[in-house]
Amino acid sequence: MEDLINLSFNTAKTHGATYTDVRIAKFKTQSIAIKNGKVEEILDSESYGFGIRTIVNGAWGFASSFNVNKREVQKIAALSCNIAKASASLKNKSVILSPVKPLKGNYETPMTIDPFTVPLEDKLSILSETEEIMRKKNGVKISEASMNFVLKDQIFANTEGAWIKQKIMMSGAGIEATAIGEGDMQVRSYPNSHGGQFITGGYEFINTLRLKDNAEKVADEAVALITAKECPSKKTTIILDGSQLGLQVHESIGHPVELDRVLGTEASFAGTSFLTPDKLGHLKIGSDIVNITADATIPTGLGTFGYDDEGVPAQRTDIVKNGLFVGYLNSRETAAETGQLPNGAMRADGWNRTPLIRMTNVNLLPGKPSFEELISDTKDGVYLETNKSWSIDDKRLNFQFGTEAGWEIKNGKIKRMLKNPNYTGITPKFWNSCDAIANEDSWIVWGTPNCGKGEPMQVIQTGHGTSPARFRNIQIGVGK
Amino acid sequence: MISKTKMEKILKEILEMSPADQTEVLLISQNSALTRFANNQIHQNVAEKNAKLSIRVIKNKRTGTASTNILNKSSIKGVLEKALKIADNASPDPDFKSLPKKKKCTKMELFSKNTAEYQPIDRVKDVSVLISKANQKELNAAGALSTGEITIGIANSLGVFEITSLTEADINTVFMSSNSSGYADSYAKEVRKIDFHKLADTASEKALKSIDPIAIDPGSYTVILEPAAVADMLTYLAFCGLGALAYQEGRSFLSGKLGEKITGGNITIWDDGTSPDTLGMPFDFEGTPKQKVMLIENGVAKNVVYDSYTAHKDGRESTGHALPAPNIYGPQPSNLFLKNGDYSVDEMIASTKKGILVTRFHYTNMEDPLKTMLTGMTRDGTFLIEDGEISCGIKNLRFTQNILKALSNVEMISEETKLKQASFGFCLAPALKVKDFNFTGVTEF
């Protein structure tokens, strides 16, 4: 590998590069899904290749290939420089990278059991037994159970002297029951929707999920939702469960603090951000109890790693402190542009993509009351659980989320179930209405394995540590 | 790129090597490049060479699939062994009948040498047309131009053996002032057929016309949806219910409703991957020829699309809409068409006393697939129509709307159609004038 990397550096230099970095990576993936008593998917896949990023004449170029050999490395390094030269012919300013210490390092996701060593029949057995419990419930028409594992094995090096090896393992699993009847369709999932819960870690995590123990409850609730009362349309107090709140943090805080969006480079696709630089240190984005960090160092977070794809070490950054907006996620380039220090948020979803600013683990820090106290302290409201749909405008202000289930809260107690709940709001107003966050006993780092951004599209894994929280005077039941 | 000759050799070798009852090999080779610009300069410029080999084997009705992009002999052998091992562990699927047999595919010319050989400096020249216009109008342009070629080979042990090469060029752009924006896009097989000057004019005109937008109250409005917004809506409609898997599982809005009137009589929707008016291909990812499938005709639900698995289950023939195996979505429409009408967008505007013109939607998502309840935002050119004229730009609105109801309320359909990207392919859509469209919220810009 060292030969190939040095060859890429030398080739790029002869083509005018003033900076070069290389990533050589292999991705190994296993997806298993059981549906309605049958194997829906078992897929083992791998992807191997390299990408070379260069700066020539003050502009970026990037090229990549799946042919990992000397001749191809020379061709791709030259192509990357050729692309950079073309970029330079249409630039207003030169790329400047904020200086970082070139690091030599090695990081591996801590784990006990490598998922790829676990026999397929063991995984199928857990999934089949779990799925069968849901399938046997009257009214359940679709029952699904799945597991996913991804290993990213990568070397990063740059011409400043950085040389970093990383092995990052993602493990996840989930179950879902769909009830159909009376002209309606209702879904319940566990531990989360969209495939379940995901972490960085090994197969030992799967056993902690207790999928089988939760299958009956999931099936029961899906069926119960068919005859549940429709969520009313009104302004009320809502309590969001941790998984839904994780997505709320993701969409309304995580994306708007990506500095590339803020500076306009995602404008045509994902959009820009309401958190313009003049608001840094000035906008009260949330109530005093709202504290949010971006932290790539916490154990098991799906956005946990050793170094980002520019060789910047994983770190914790304050994003919101006592309700005040205080920090962005950045890259070496955007840090230099705005006078900040790089905070390690540049990641690519594969060897064939150039890195973008991505969320790490963007976490809402826990508050004081227990979850039970949060409920008992609420006279009238709705508890909303598990994301079903999500939508937010291109500056990340107006959002609307739907959840799988809702429950009335009356005089401090959870009462009857509500179906088709949704809620809407404007980001700063919403976070300023937060008056209670549950404590660390119910704080979980939820994994979002499918965050899309960029052109060509890149799908990355992010984490969101949250505990349930309460928001006042929120519009629910939109479109009823 | 992997040459067609080499691809043929790899496909044949794997089929010969496999001891399975049935074997399918899918090999995709692609070269692609993309130039991204924002703040009137290029900020990202990339190229990729990649491939994907996927092997599906069936042993006693047990299926295993494995894939790789490492194409040396030992890796290919290893992938086949992995697929066989997976099949050994899988439970038999009584609903699996067979992989498809060979059928004759339509010949289609899908390849443009110009697009395949487009160079970084060529893309810069095109992008500079947009940036020059933006500079001239004191606007800020962002967007992406991509060009690429792809060769797809699919073969199975029952005689299917298809290889085709195609090219595609895509451009999208947003022009922005300090408080407004305008959007334009184009998709073509031949990059030189894209009119970058026209795109720049469209995007700049929309951005300039919507400067200083006013806020209007949410509510029920007559709306004119331009083709990008219509295509977005149809994409979700297709994803939620126009494929046979969703239909068979009862989670499609069409389940049990084929033959019933579900939209206005002026709505006809079909899928046709072999039409020269779209960017299609002659066969699906099982090598079955793509057929034209009438989905909704004069408002009546007619059909869903099939792959071989779902077709066997319903005692039908595959319509050529398989995605690469294994896939959890089932067969999907990939080249949608909504029948055009007789009007121009100008005539639609002129006929509207009070309404809203929408350029495109943003971040749409289905809240209730069975009831086709969709939410999303407007974006990049939302205008108020008063007394038959566009009066001003308005701040973006959130809609929460039942799609089938919207398609039951279509008052006018444009004659002109435009090709737009959809989740699994493309959609050729006209503009629609729709009454009683529900806007449920407003944002701050």
Look up the CATH number of the domain holding residue A54: 3.30.2290.10
Task: Tell me the pLDDT band of B423, cut-offs 50, 70 and 90.
Answer: confident
B335-373: pLDDT as tens digits? 999 999 999 999 999 999 999 999 999 999 999 999 999
Interchain CB contact of A226 with B (< 8 Å): no
Which run of H or E residues covers position B46?
A: strand B41-59
For residue B443, give the nearest of A40, A67, A397 by CB distance. A397
| Same domain assignment for residues A176 and A267 | no
CA distance A298 to chain B (A): 30
- Residue A164's nearest CA partner among A305, A53, A65 is A305
Q: What type of residue sits at position B331? A: P
Look-up of token digits 């129509």: B385
CA distance B135 to chain A (A): 12
Residue-by-residue DSSP string for B60-90:
TTEEEEEEES--SHHHHHHHHHHHHHHHHHS
| Same domain assignment for residues A341 and A456 | yes
A257 lies in which domain range?
Answer: 230-476
Residues of chain B with C-beta less than 8 angstroms from the C-beta of A28: none
- Residue A346's nearest CA partner among A39, A62, A13 is A62
Chain B window 243-262: which residues touch A at a Cβ cutoff of 8 Å? 249-251
For chains A and B, what is the number of CB pairs under 8 angstroms? 257
> Count of residues for chain B?
445
Q: What does the alpha-carbon distance between residue B390 and residue B350 come to, in Å, rounded to a whole number?
A: 9
Residues of chain B with C-beta less than 8 angstroms from the C-beta of A60: 43-45
Q: Which domains does chain B have, with CATH numbers?
A: 4-199 (3.30.2290.10), 213-445 (no CATH)
3-state secondary structure of B116: helix
| Same domain assignment for residues A114 and A62 | yes
B84's tokens = 């066989």
Q: Are the Cβ atoms of A456 and B32 closer than 8 angstroms?
A: yes
| Same domain assignment for residues A95 and A108 | yes
Q: How many CB atoms lie within 10 A of CB A11?
A: 22
CA distance A469 to chain B (A): 23
| Same domain assignment for residues A410 and A467 | yes
Whether A407 contacts A378, CB under 8 Å: no
Tens of pLDDT along chain A (480 residues) come to 899 999 999 999 999 999 999 999 999 999 999 999 999 999 999 999 999 999 999 999 999 999 999 999 999 999 999 999 999 999 999 999 999 999 999 999 999 999 999 999 999 999 999 999 999 999 999 999 999 999 999 999 999 999 999 999 999 999 999 999 999 999 999 999 999 999 999 999 999 999 999 999 999 999 999 999 999 999 999 999 999 999 999 999 999 999 999 999 999 999 999 999 999 999 999 999 999 999 999 999 999 999 999 999 999 999 999 999 999 999 999 999 999 999 999 999 999 999 999 999 999 999 999 999 999 999 999 999 999 999 999 999 999 999 999 999 999 999 999 999 999 999 999 999 999 999 999 999 999 999 999 999 999 999 999 999 999 999 999 998
| Same domain assignment for residues A252 and A184 | no
| Same domain assignment for residues A135 and A42 | yes
Look-up of token digits 């720049």: B200
3-state secondary structure of B126: helix
Nearest CA in chain A to B70: A48
Look-up of token digits 């029948």: B339
- Would you put residue A206 in left (φ > 0), alpha (ψ -120 to 50) or beta? alpha
B193-228: pLDDT as tens digits? 999 999 999 999 999 999 999 999 999 999 999 999
Q: Are the Cβ atoms of B45 and A83 closer than 8 angstroms?
A: yes
Q: Are the Cβ atoms of B440 and A479 closer than 8 angstroms?
A: yes
Q: Which of A197, A227, A257 is the last residue of a domain?
A: A227
Q: Which of A192, A227, A262 is the last residue of a domain?
A: A227
| Same domain assignment for residues A390 and A296 | yes
Predicted confidence at residue A308, as pLDDT, reads 98
Predicted confidence at residue B266, as pLDDT, reads 98
For residue A43, give the nearest of B33, B66, B442 by CB distance. B66
Q: How many CB atoms lie within 10 A of CB A207?
A: 11
CA distance A326 to chain B (A): 22
Sign of CA dihedral B62, B63, B66, B71: positive
Q: Are the Cβ atoms of B46 and A62 closer than 8 angstroms?
A: yes
Q: Which of A227, A251, A278 is the last residue of a domain?
A: A227
As a whole number, the mean pLDDT across chain B is: 97
B252-284: pLDDT as tens digits? 999 999 999 999 999 999 999 999 999 999 999
| Same domain assignment for residues A72 and A17 | yes
| Same domain assignment for residues A161 and A296 | no
Q: Are the Cβ atoms of A394 and B362 closer than 8 angstroms?
A: yes
Q: How many domains does chain A have?
A: 2
Predicted confidence at residue A480, as pLDDT, reads 80
Chain B window 221-240: which residues touch A at a Cβ cutoff of 8 Å? none
Whether A341 contacts A284, CB under 8 Å: no
Predicted confidence at residue A181, as pLDDT, reads 94
Peptide bond connecting A421 to the previous residue in cis, omega within 30 degrees of 0 = no
Q: Which residues partner with B9 through β-bridges? A: none
Residues of chain B with C-beta less than 8 angstroms from the C-beta of A81: none
Chain A window 278-337: which residues touch B at a Cβ cutoff of 8 Å? none
| Same domain assignment for residues A209 and A254 | no
Interchain CB contact of A142 with B (< 8 Å): yes
| Same domain assignment for residues A223 and A308 | no
